[in-house]
Amino acid sequence: MRVIAGTFRGRRLAVPKGNRLVRPTTDRVKESVFSILREQVVDANFLDLCAGTGSMGIEALSRGAKHVTFLDRDRRCLAIIERNLDVCGLTTESRARYYLLCRDILKGIKSLHKQASIFDVIYFDPPYGVGLEDGSQGGIELYTTSLARLAETALLEIGGMLLVEHAKQVVLPDAVGSLSRGRQARYGDTIVSFYQRNV
Q: What's the whole-model pTM score?
A: 0.91
Q: What is the pLDDT along the chain (199 residues), one digit of tens a residue?
A: 899 999 999 999 998 776 555 667 888 999 999 999 999 999 999 999 999 999 999 999 999 999 999 999 999 999 999 999 999 998 766 678 999 999 999 999 999 999 999 999 999 998 765 544 444 445 688 899 999 999 999 999 999 999 999 988 889 999 999 999 999 999 998 999 999 998 8
Beta strands in 116-172 (DSSP E): 119-124, 156-167
Buried b (16+ CB within 10 A) or exposed e, 171-192: ebeeebbbbbbeeeeeeeebbb
The structural domains of the chain, ordered by start, are 27-197 (3.40.50.150)
- Quote the DSSP letter at residue 73: S
CA-to-CA distance for 100 and 192, rounded, in angstroms? 24
